Amino acid sequence: MKYVTTSIALCLSLAAGAAFAKEGVTNPVVKERMDLMQMIRAATATLGDMAGGKTAFDATAATTAKTALAVAAGQIVVKFQPQEDDPVSEGAPAIWTDFAGFTSKAEGLVTAAEAVDVTSLAGLQAGMGAVGGACKACHEAYRAKK
């Protein structure tokens, strides 16, 4: 149970933040990948809020959010493929020097999202740890604070 609570807290902290791509982003390619991350954040927040009891469990809404998360995760590779930069971007150069590694982290999120059992609250709670772990694994390696 402690593990579940920690995972949910991790998810919520990853999911916290602005609702849209960073202000001041001018490169449209960078904006698109930030918007994608914000979509991922929003879907994860919906699932995390339910898992954490902040909102009531709703299997239909959870299914919608899970699908949105998996679809968005499936777009990461294509949105990050162009090596574009912007003064406000947090994309690390390692994304493009190690695109295979980056791709496998993106696939990790797709797998984790698809594996979430949204038919019950317990299933949702059990699945969120892997989702949060997938965000963290990629951010640690490929998202640099500037």
User: Among 107, 118, 114, which Cα is nearest to 76's?
Assistant: 107
**Closest distance of CB 63 from ligand HEC, Å:** 17
- Strand runs labelled E in the chain: none
Residue among 118 and 134 whose Cβ is closer to ligand HEC:
134
Size of the site for ligand HEC (CB under 6 A): 29
CB of 44 to ligand HEC, least distance (A): 4
Alpha carbon 95 to chain centroid distance? 16
Contact 86, 25 (CB under 8 A): yes
Output the smallest distance, CB 82 to ligand HEC, in A. Answer: 11
How far is Cα 54 from Cα 102, in angstroms, rounded to an integer? 32
* Residue showing tokens 């963290």: 136
Q: Which residue has the tokens 């317990």?
A: 122
Binding to ligand HEC in span 30-89, by CB under 6 A: 30, 33-34, 37-38, 40-41, 44, 76, 89
Q: Which residue has the tokens 């150069």?
A: 93
Binding residues for ligand HEC, rule: CB under 6 A, are: 14-15, 17, 21-22, 30, 33-34, 37-38, 40-41, 44, 76, 89-91, 95, 102, 105-106, 109, 131, 134-135, 138-139, 142-143
